[in-house]
């Protein structure tokens, strides 16, 4: 159950890091937060048997893929690329690869 706190916090860190060095829309915050919650809730529902495991996996994976898209090609990725801030780019890149590769293990 701690994942309902730690995972959204980790995802929201992308928004916080970007907003520390440039103006970013709050809609990015909400998109990342909602996608992380959908990923967790539907994954749990499929695992616990509230919905079929396949449905939980498909919906949870779709939310994860959306997060990956947002971080690499969406507004978050574009904001990072256009920032011109090398420390931001280093931290952002490390975090998005952790989310991509690390979460793929699950």
- Please tell me the predicted confidence (pLDDT) of residue 2: 79
* Percentage, residues of the chain above pLDDT 70: 99
Q: What is the pLDDT of residues 1-52, one digit of tens each?
A: 778 888 888 888 888 888 888 888 899 999 999 999 999 999 999 999 999 9
Distance between the two ends of the chain, CA-based, in angstroms?
A: 16
Q: How sure is the predictor about 83, in pLDDT bands with cuts at 50, 70 and 90? A: confident
Of residues 82 and 46, more confidently modeled: 46
What are the helix (H) ranges across 1-106? 3-21, 26-48, 53-72, 75-81, 86-97, 103-104
For the chain, domains (ranges, CATH) are 3-104 (1.20.1070.10)
Angstrom CA distances, 70 to 5, 35, 48, stand at 20, 10, 28
Looking at every residue in the chain, the average pLDDT score rounds to 90
């Amino acid at each position: 159950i701690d994942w309902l706190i730690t995972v959204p916090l980790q995802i929201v860190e992308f928004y916080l890091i970007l907003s520390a060095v440039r103006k970013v829309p709050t809609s990015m915050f909400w998109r990342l937060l909602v996608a992380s919650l959908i990923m967790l809730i539907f994954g749990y529902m499929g695992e616990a048997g509230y919905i079929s495991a396949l449905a939980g996996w498909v919906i949870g994976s779709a939310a994860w893929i959306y997060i990956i898209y947002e971080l690499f090609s969406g507004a978050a990725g574009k904001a990072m690329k256009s920032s011109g801030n090398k420390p931001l780019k280093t931290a952002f890149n490390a975090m998005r690869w952790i989310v991509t590769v690390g979460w793929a293990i699950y």
